[in-house]
């Protein structure tokens, strides 16, 4: 690490004489309502709110602005009849052009006037929405340039521990989050993903291919379904349509390369390809760790315009993940006994055809396939196999969507899909005696031996219709209806009504409301654990949300939002009457986390809270966010006793900020504070836990301060981007769990890592 840092310093010294002062901005502008390209759009480059350069888009919506001094800018897009749009965090380097994609909204006296062009929600979303651009995620302190870890800092989002990027949204389980990548549903976007859930240690998606994300934490519209708590929508950028470009990078999580270039002639299309490999196995081996993970991934996106009306986008990516155990010492053997061997591989491949039908309508046709192979293995200290889970899950989806804007202020959306599903499971479990004591009998609960070897094929389907209309130029109203079908369970059909509204009192102040019913089908691994589990229902959650937002200035907003989320039909254990699967999904390092027991749909619960959010966009030198969430989350399992959720932190506080010094220097910091998560007290005599005391104790409160320093050096034909990121700069040893060590016969506190510095290098040319 010292050698790499020294090389970076030498680059800096040489850059004083060799730096290049200009770059270029390219991009495309389209009409958001009908996806038609927009010509004659005025694109202005702003520095400290002053216009320094600009250009007009051509008839296909493309634009290029040359001879722009290197630095960070805002862009303003203006066209008569459309709302002006601001896009911040546009970084101009000499090595590669800054590529910007913009969607303008048509304006009319009938359209609602809320906030401004800088903070804009999708037309069918009224509240609980946040948008992050690539640069905001890249520069986030302590984020490892990982999408999930950055999203964890948004309002209402908690986490399991520093080693994972699970999203615990408004008290919900990590299994309740929906991922979409370029409009295609993906079961999990993470290496070493949790089967039946959505988290993991690090994202498979290469950040260098990301354009932006949309994150919705409640009250989402009818086009989204089969999840209860949140939508994380990833939109990938296209490759360069003009010339071949390269990016070689090294970060805390691995090293890789990105290549891109044009496809066809006259800007007909493009391709972009990336490959990455972690080097954690090298570090862990050298440091003598008993647990050694390794992972690699590759990703491709290609787009091609057949003509002015029809275009095709192709995405493909895959991952290889494996764990090695160094059982060379007695301590390592004992530690590794509590961790499942976890080897995985998978891929995603999607094709989406976009057809511009008329000036008022367009359609999307999507074909996608996902595949995941899980291999979990648990052994005792004598290396005897006590748990094995070899599972394969694949889905092939056909989806069609139609969008119509019959008049200004009205949007109609319709969609339907069918999903072909196959899951193979080879699972073996020895009889397992838990540490929990039955308060009635005084005995420990026992999970019986299990042997499953089957192959199942089934199907899912959905259809939706929704309308968004603006009344009197003040009230935007969205109403939708969704139908979901799952052939594998007894009750196959579910209907979900959704409504939301936002009312603008002035151009700077608005209030919003939302209500909806949401369903989520049980995880496949739950359903095959016992024949009776096919009687499970889809889990239901009712969302009630109200919020207000005020624009203090064009680049500074504050919002306040309250929510109540009511759960029903949650699967609970028939063997362990205190267990509800709403408490699972955040780890999967223990065999009992998979829900492999008889289950029934009688669990209930709720989560309620209030969230304060403040944001200052980067328009000059300073940017920052502040959010405070206060909430509680509780559930009832089979015994009907209300207990605190595993994910109930009670309060979350995050403040982030950064400053642009000029000459390519930028510093940022993040402070995060969270209330301690619940746990069940342990009897120090024998390590057992009483169900009557389930989740009655709490871990100590969590806090962490991160710091990051970035520097861009621009040379004649290439750019060097480097950073140093120091996580937990105050060296706070947070307690992540409290466990019983059966070898020492003692209660042990598991601590997070202390101070953790890392560096990153990007060479772009």
Cβ atoms 367, 397 nearer than 8 A: yes
Q: What is the pLDDT of residue 21?
A: 82
Cβ atoms 596, 525 nearer than 8 A: yes
585 phi, psi to nearest 5 deg = 105, -5
Summarised one tens digit per residue, pLDDT across range 676-689 is 999 999 999 999 99
pLDDT over 70 percentage in the chain: 93
Summarised one tens digit per residue, pLDDT across range 30-79 is 999 899 999 999 999 998 888 999 999 999 999 999 999 998 999 999 99
User: How far is the first Cα of the chain from the last one, in angstroms, to the nearest whole number?
Assistant: 24
Number of CB atoms found within 10 A of residue 392's CB: 17
Own/partner contacts of 378-387, CB < 8 Å, gap of 24 or more, are 378/340, 378/341, 378/591, 379/337, 379/341, 380/337, 381/333, 381/334, 381/337, 383/327, 385/428, 386/429, 386/430, 386/432, 386/591, 387/340, 387/428, 387/429, 387/430, 387/591
Q: Does the pLDDT value for residue 9 go beyond 50?
A: no
Place of tokens 């006296």: 109
Secondary structure element (H or E) that encloses residue 421, with its range: strand 410-429
Distances (CA, A) of 462 to 170, 223, 400, 482, 493: 26, 9, 11, 7, 10
Q: What is the fold of 2-104?
A: Immunoglobulin-like (2.60.40)
Computed over every residue of the chain, the mean pLDDT equals 90
Place of tokens 């072909």: 420
Place of tokens 């949204």: 169
Summarised one tens digit per residue, pLDDT across range 541-573 is 999 999 999 999 888 999 999 999 999 999 999
> Which positions ≥6 away from 108 have C-beta within 8 Å?
408, 409
**Distance of alpha carbon 206 from alpha carbon 417, whole angstroms:** 28
Cα 679 to chain centroid distance, Å, stands at: 26
Distances (CA, A) of 145 to 176, 178, 340, 692, 729: 23, 21, 27, 42, 18
**Distance of alpha carbon 167 from alpha carbon 692, whole angstroms:** 29
Distances (CA, A) of 134 to 82, 89, 198, 211: 25, 9, 21, 5
Place of tokens 């010509």: 39
Q: What is the pLDDT of residue 467?
A: 97
Closest by Cα among 765, 763, 758, 672 to 145: 758
Q: Does the pLDDT value for residue 436 go beyond 80?
A: yes
Q: Does the pLDDT value for residue 355 go beyond 90?
A: yes
pTM of the model: 0.93
Cβ atoms 219, 543 nearer than 8 A: yes
Which residues lie across from 511 on neighbouring strands? Answer: 503, 548
Position 108 confidence tier, pLDDT thresholds 50, 70, 90: low
Q: Strands 444-447 and 432-437: what pairing?
A: antiparallel
Q: Where are the domains of the chain?
A: 2-104, 129-764
582 phi, psi to nearest 5 deg = -65, -20
Position 111 confidence tier, pLDDT thresholds 50, 70, 90: very low
Burial of 406 (0-12, 13-18, 19+ CB in 10 A): exposed
Q: For 10-51, what is the HEC assignment?
A: HHHHHHHHHCCCEEEEEEEEEECCCCCECCCCEEEEEECCEE
Q: What letter does residue 533 receive in the DSSP assignment?
A: G
Calculate mean pLDDT across residues 411-418.
97
Position 10 confidence tier, pLDDT thresholds 50, 70, 90: very low
Cβ atoms 702, 737 nearer than 8 A: no
Which residues lie across from 181 on neighbouring strands? Answer: 184, 234
Q: What is the pLDDT of residue 589?
A: 61
Report CA Rg, the chain: 26
Closest by Cα among 403, 314, 312 to 354: 312
Which residues lie across from 698 on neighbouring strands? Answer: 678
**Distance of alpha carbon 534 from alpha carbon 476, whole angstroms:** 41
Which residues lie across from 302 on neighbouring strands? Answer: 271, 314
Please provide the DSSP assignment of 197-251 as one string.
S---SEESS-GGGEEEEEEE-S---TT--S-SSEEEEEEEPPPPSSS-EEEEEEE
Cβ atoms 228, 520 nearer than 8 A: yes
Position 506 confidence tier, pLDDT thresholds 50, 70, 90: confident
Burial of 657 (0-12, 13-18, 19+ CB in 10 A): middle
pLDDT over 90 percentage in the chain: 70
Q: Does the pLDDT value for residue 657 go beyond 70?
A: yes
CA angle 297, 298, 300 (to 5 degrees): 150
331 phi, psi to nearest 5 deg = -65, -45
Class of domain 129-764: mainly beta
Q: Strands 642-644 and 622-636: what pairing?
A: antiparallel
Summarised one tens digit per residue, pLDDT across range 567-617 is 999 999 999 999 999 998 766 566 667 889 999 999 999 999 999 999 998
**Distance of alpha carbon 699 from alpha carbon 751, whole angstroms:** 11
**Distance of alpha carbon 117 from alpha carbon 86, whole angstroms:** 6
Summarised one tens digit per residue, pLDDT across range 208-224 is 999 999 999 999 999 99
> Which positions ≥6 away from 737 have C-beta within 8 Å?
161, 679, 699, 749, 750
Q: What is the pLDDT of residue 716?
A: 83
**Distance of alpha carbon 346 from alpha carbon 147, whole angstroms:** 19
């Amino acid at each position: 690490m010292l050698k790499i840092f020294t090389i970076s310093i030498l680059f800096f010294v040489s850059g004083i004489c060799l730096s290049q002062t200009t770059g270029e901005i390219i991009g495309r502008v389209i009409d958001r309502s009908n996806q038609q390209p927009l010509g004659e759009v005025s694109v202005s480059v702003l520095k400290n709110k002053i216009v320094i350069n600009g250009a007009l888009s051509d008839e296909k919506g493309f634009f290029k602005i040359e001879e722009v001094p290197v630095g960070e800018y805002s862009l303003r897009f203006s066209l008569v009849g459309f709302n002006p749009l601001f896009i911040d965090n546009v970084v101009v380097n000499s090595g590669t052009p800054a590529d910007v994609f913009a969607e303008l909204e048509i304006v009319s006296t009938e359209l609602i006037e809320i906030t401004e062009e800088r903070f804009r929600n999708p037309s069918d979303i009224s509240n609980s929405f946040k948008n992050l651009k690539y640069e905001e995620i890249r520069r986030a302190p302590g984020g490892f340039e990982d999408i999930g870890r950055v999203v964890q800092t948004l309002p209402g989002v908690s986490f399991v521990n520093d080693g994972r990027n699970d999203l615990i949204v408004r008290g919900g389980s990590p299994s309740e989050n929906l991922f979409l990548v370029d409009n295609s549903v993906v079961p999990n976007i993470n290496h070493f993903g949790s089967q039946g859930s959505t988290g993991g240690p690090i994202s498979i998606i290469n950040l260098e291919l990301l354009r932006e994300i949309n994150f919705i934490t409640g009250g989402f519209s009818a086009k989204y379904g089969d999840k209860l708590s949140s939508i994380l929508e990833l939109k990938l950028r296209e490759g360069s349509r003009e010339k071949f470009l390269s990016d070689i990078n090294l970060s805390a999580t691995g090293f890789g390369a990105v290549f891109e270039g044009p496809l066809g002639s006259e800007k007909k299309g493009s391709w972009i390809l990336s490959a990455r490999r972690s080097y954690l196995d090298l570090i862990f081996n050298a440091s003598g760790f008993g647990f050694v993970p390794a992972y690699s991934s590759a990703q491709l996106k290609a787009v091609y315009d057949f003509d002015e009306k029809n275009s095709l986008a192709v995405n493909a990516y895959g991952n290889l993940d494996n764990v090695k155990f160094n059982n060379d010492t007695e301590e390592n053997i004992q530690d590794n006994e509590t961790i499942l061997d976890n080897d995985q591989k998978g891929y995603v491949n999607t094709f989406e055809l976009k057809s511009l039908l008329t000036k008022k309508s367009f359609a999307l046709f999507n074909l996608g396939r996902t595949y995941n192979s899980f291999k979990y293995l648990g052994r005792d200290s004598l290396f005897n196999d006590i748990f094995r889970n070899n599972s394969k899950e694949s889905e092939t989806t056909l989806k069609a969507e139609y969008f119509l804007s019959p008049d200004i202020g009205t949007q109609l959306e319709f969609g339907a899909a069918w999903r072909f599903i196959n899951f193979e499971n080879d699972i073996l479990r020895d009889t397992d005696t838990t540490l929990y004591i039955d308060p009635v009998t005084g005995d420990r609960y026992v999970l019986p031996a299990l042997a499953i070897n089957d192959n199942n094929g089934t199907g899912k389907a959905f259809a939706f219709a929704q309308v968004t209309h603006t009344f009197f130029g003040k009230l935007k109203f969205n109403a939708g209806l969704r139908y979901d079908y799952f052939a594998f369970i007894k009750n196959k059909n579910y209907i979900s009504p959704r409504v939301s509204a936002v009312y603008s009192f002035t151009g700077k102040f608005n209030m919003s409301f939302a209500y909806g019913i949401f369903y989520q089908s049980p995880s496949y691994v739950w359903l095959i654990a016992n024949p009776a589990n096919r009687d499970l229902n889809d889990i239901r959650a009712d969302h009630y949300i109200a919020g207000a937002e005020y624009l203090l200035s064009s680049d500074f907003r504050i919002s306040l939002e309250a929510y109540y989320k009511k759960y029903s039909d949650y699967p609970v254990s028939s063997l362990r009457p205190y267990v509800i699967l709403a408490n699972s999904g955040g780890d999967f390092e223990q065999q009992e986390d998979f829900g492999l027991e008889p289950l029934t749909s009688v669990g209930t619960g709720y989560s309620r809270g209030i969230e304060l959010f403040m944001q200052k966009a980067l328009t000059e030198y300073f940017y920052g966010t502040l959010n405070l969430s206060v909430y509680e989350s509780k559930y009832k399992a089979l015994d009907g006793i209300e207990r605190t959720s595993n994910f109930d932190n009670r309060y979350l506080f995050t403040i982030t900020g950064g400053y642009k010094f000029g000459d390519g220097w930028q510093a940022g910091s993040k402070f995060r504070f969270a209330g301690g998560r619940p746990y069940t007290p342990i009897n120090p005599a024998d390590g057992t836990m009483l169900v009557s005391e389930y989740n009655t104790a709490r871990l100590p409160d969590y806090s962490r301060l991160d710091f990051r320093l970035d520097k861009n050096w621009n040379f004649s034909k290439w750019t060097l981007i480097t950073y140093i990121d120091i996580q937990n700069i105050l060296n706070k040893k947070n307690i992540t769990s409290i466990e019983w060590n059966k070898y020492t016969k003692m209660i042990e506190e598991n601590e997070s890592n202390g101070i953790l510095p890392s560096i990153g290098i990007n060479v772009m040319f």
